[in-house]
Amino acid sequence: MSPKILLIEDDPSICDMTKMNLNMNGFSQVCCASSGEEGLAAAAQMLPDLILLDVMLPGIDGLTVCRNLKNNPLLANIPIIMLTAKGEENDIVLGLEMGADDYITKPYSSKVLAARIAVQLRKKTTAGREEPRSIVLGPLSIDLITHSATLNGAGLLLTADEFKTLVLLASNPGRVFTRNQIIRAVKGDNYSVTARAIDMHIVNLRRKLGEWADHIETIRGVGYRIAGE
């Protein structure tokens, strides 16, 4: 059965076009809501498998909708992909830190959107499975039991913080993490650090990864992600 997708978008033309494109890419169950209030009500009623959420909405804005969804135990595990206009870097950062799983900027390719949706649905399907013992991305192998990593078979001499950062990024290939999310994962919630310190932390990690360092991508104004193979 096709997954249920809720699109919260106030522009009727964008909503109709997106729904048509998703239908053409195999997603036949797409429901549209035209405001934040309507979207929250629809989410509670239909319990969708994924939500596409426009940031700029009349009434309750998209960021508030995202926060409300993630604060609701019945809806918190539903993946959210934010739809943003170019230049809304601050909104992207806030949305990711409120729990959004991904974002895509307008105008976007229907095939790219369908691919991003498929990735999030796969993650949701595997979320309840047994915790992995290792992560493998091409020549990079991370052993979560021994807290060690190898690249092309050679051991990587990583600090504890570098290892945690690599695990965070590698366990979610393609997902963007803000600097605040990275530091919370590495140091905890109450650790104060500047954006510059995080950037230098990534520089050191890239240096140790050598030629594979290009897989850690900088998303300007937002944060970092690791590219999948």
Domain limits, the chain: 4-126, 134-226
Both tokens of 95, joined, read 């949305």
- Residue 156 is predicted with a pLDDT of 93
Cα–Cα dist 223/94, whole Å? 12
Domain 4-126 shares a fold with domain 134-226: no
Q: H/E element holding 86?
A: none
The CATH T-level fold of domain 4-126 is Rossmann fold (3.40.50)
- Residue 89 is predicted with a pLDDT of 80
- Residue 58 is predicted with a pLDDT of 86
pLDDT digits (tens, 9 = 90+) for 91-101: 888 889 888 99
- Helix, strand and coil content of the chain, in percent to the nearest 5, comes to 45, 20, 35
- Measured CA distances, 15 to 6, 52, 68, 176, 191 (Å): 11, 10, 22, 25, 41
- Residue 130 is predicted with a pLDDT of 58
Q: Which pairs with CB-CB distance under 8 Å and at least 24 residues apart come from 137-143?
A: 137/170, 137/173, 137/215, 137/226, 137/228, 137/229, 138/212, 138/229, 139/212, 140/170, 140/209, 140/212, 140/215, 142/166, 142/167, 142/170
**Which residues touch 101 (CB under 8 Å, ≥6 apart)?**
79, 80, 81, 120, 123, 175
The CATH T-level fold of domain 134-226 is Arc Repressor Mutant, subunit A (1.10.10)
pLDDT digits (tens, 9 = 90+) for 117-154: 998 898 777 655 556 788 999 999 999 989 999 999 99
Please identify every stretch of the chain with a pLDDT value under 50, giving residue numbers as ranges: none
